[in-house]
Structure 1
Amino acid sequence: MFTGIIQAVGQVRRLEPRGGDVRLTIGSGKLGLAGASLGDSIAVNGVCLTAVTLAADAFAADVSRETLSLTTLGGLTTGSPVNLEPALTLSTPLGGHLVSGHVDGVGQVLERREDGRSWRLRIAAPPELARYIAHKGSICVDGVSLTVNAVDGACFELNIVPHTLDETIIAGYRTGTRVNLEVDLIARYLERLLLGERAANPSGGASGGGLTREFLAEHGFGR
């Protein structure tokens, strides 16, 4: 588990293809690795990866074929900057929100504009994630815990304060930039709970029918 509070911006040093998978070697920047151990989880642009080698200022992690296809990690190149966060501990302040490091989909930056010293971003999410994105709710973008300022269908807006621009890769976003998205995990579990016994049916699975307007109306969630 993570909090969505980025601890450092690292840099991809090496990409080694290994039978369809890739081993990433990442310079850790200011992220201290002195207390890290092999097998520790480190979020890279919001993707939970397992450290398989450790050095004083770098670590390596294997990225599966599925992760490469379902996240933006497949588009990284040598020199790419990446957001880094170590797994939280019981003593870690929960400054963001609970983040699993399991990406739900890839979004795209539609617009970037200045707003005082902050930036406003408009991002398009995959349509199937729209029901999990709420005004003033939380969303994780490339591992960064952010508050949703506005929602319009599958598009949402964010306000990025100067500190976040300084401490993450968001300052490098441009129109068209692809970003990893993880929705609030409480919303995902709430959907499953609302399904009740239907959750055991194949059509009620996460990739199946799920909640419908008719189902919600039947159970009093609507007019």
Structure 2
Amino acid sequence: MFTGIVQAKCEVMAIHTKTGMYTFEIAIDESLREGLQIGASVATNGVCLTVTQEVNGHVFFDVMEETLSLTNLVHLQVGDWVNIERSLTFGCEIGGHILSGHVHTQAILSEVSKTDSHYNLELTLDPQWMNYILYKGFVGVNGCSLTVGAVTENSFMLHLITETLRLTNLEQYQQGDTLNIEIDSQTQAIVDTVERVLAQRFGHNV
């Protein structure tokens, strides 16, 4: 489990390709490697990955084809930066919202608006997932717990503060790029339950 509070953005140092699998080699700060064990879970751009090796400050993660096909990890290149969060431990402050590290879908960055006073992103999302995107609700974007701004039928806004831009890789994305999306599990459960109850009460056309 994760909180969506990204701890660092870290550089992809190498990508080793094998049949049906990529191995990402990522340089992770010493402070974040403290106590890190083989088999530990680390959110990488919001994707829960398992540590397979650590060598000279570089941490290795094996990523299967299925994960690559569902996430933007497939687009990573050497020199790119990824958002990193260690898994939640008992007693830690939860400043975001609970995330599983299981990406539901990807959104397309349809517009970037930046001025001296704001940095806004508009993300376009498949309508089936927009049911769970609510104004002032939570959404996981590349592993970041963010508050949803204005919502349309197929898109939503994000209003990013300077600290979020400093700690994460969101500023490196441009129009047309894809970002990993994990919807809030509580929102999904509530929406699905309400829809099921209404369908049972009033028929499946509701």
Match of 1:153 in 2: 153
Matched position secondary structure for 2:108: strand
Displacement of 1:126 in angstroms is 1.9
Question: Stretches of 4+ moved more than 6 A in 1?
Answer: none
Whether the 8 Å CA contact 2:132–2:191 is kept in 1: the answer is no
The separation in 2 between residues aligned to 1:134 and 1:30, in whole angstroms, is 38
Whether the 8 Å CA contact 2:14–2:24 is kept in 1: the answer is yes
Matched position secondary structure for 1:150: coil
Match of 1:140 in 2: 140
Whether the 8 Å CA contact 2:131–2:191 is kept in 1: the answer is no
The separation in 2 between residues aligned to 1:76 and 1:46, in whole angstroms, is 14
Displacement of 1:14 in angstroms is 1.4
The separation in 2 between residues aligned to 1:189 and 1:48, in whole angstroms, is 21
Q: Where do residues 9-28 of structure 1 align in structure 2 (5 Å cutoff)?
A: 9-28=9-28
Match of 2:131 in 1: 131
Match of 2:168 in 1: 168
Cα 1:108–1:137, aligned 2, differ >3 Å: closer, same or farther?
Answer: same
Displacement of 1:177 in angstroms is 1.7
The separation in 2 between residues aligned to 1:34 and 1:214, in whole angstroms, is 50
Structure-1-length-normalised TM-score: 0.85
Structure 2 residues without counterparts, runs of 5 or longer: none
Cα 1:216–1:108, aligned 2, differ >3 Å: closer, same or farther?
Answer: farther
Matched position secondary structure for 1:151: coil
| Number of equivalences | 204
Match of 2:84 in 1: 84
Match of 2:59 in 1: 59
The separation in 1 between residues aligned to 2:184 and 2:150, in whole angstroms, is 16
Match of 1:110 in 2: 110
Matched position secondary structure for 1:66: helix
Match of 1:208 in 2: none
The separation in 1 between residues aligned to 2:88 and 2:157, in whole angstroms, is 27
The separation in 2 between residues aligned to 1:31 and 1:110, in whole angstroms, is 35
Matched position secondary structure for 1:175: coil
Higher relative contact order (CA 8 A, sep 6+): 2
1:60 partner amino acid:
F
1:215 partner amino acid:
A
Whether the 8 Å CA contact 2:23–2:61 is kept in 1: the answer is yes
Match of 1:100 in 2: 100
The separation in 2 between residues aligned to 1:217 and 1:133, in whole angstroms, is 25
Whether the 8 Å CA contact 2:142–2:181 is kept in 1: the answer is yes
Structure 1 residues without counterparts, runs of 5 or longer: 196-210
The separation in 1 between residues aligned to 2:125 and 2:197, in whole angstroms, is 20
Matched position secondary structure for 1:95: coil
Displacement of 1:80 in angstroms is 1.0
Q: Which moved more, 1:153-162 or 1:113-122?
A: 113-122
Matched position secondary structure for 2:149: strand
The separation in 1 between residues aligned to 2:200 and 2:141, in whole angstroms, is 29
Alignment deviations for residues 90-148 of structure 1 (CA, whole Å, 9 cap, x no partner): 11111000111000101011111125433111100122201010000000110011000
Matched position secondary structure for 2:199: helix
Cα 1:149–1:4, aligned 2, differ >3 Å: closer, same or farther?
Answer: same
Displacement of 1:191 in angstroms is 4.5
1:40 partner amino acid:
A
Matched position secondary structure for 2:171: helix
Whether the 8 Å CA contact 2:142–2:180 is kept in 1: the answer is yes
Structure-2-length-normalised TM-score: 0.92
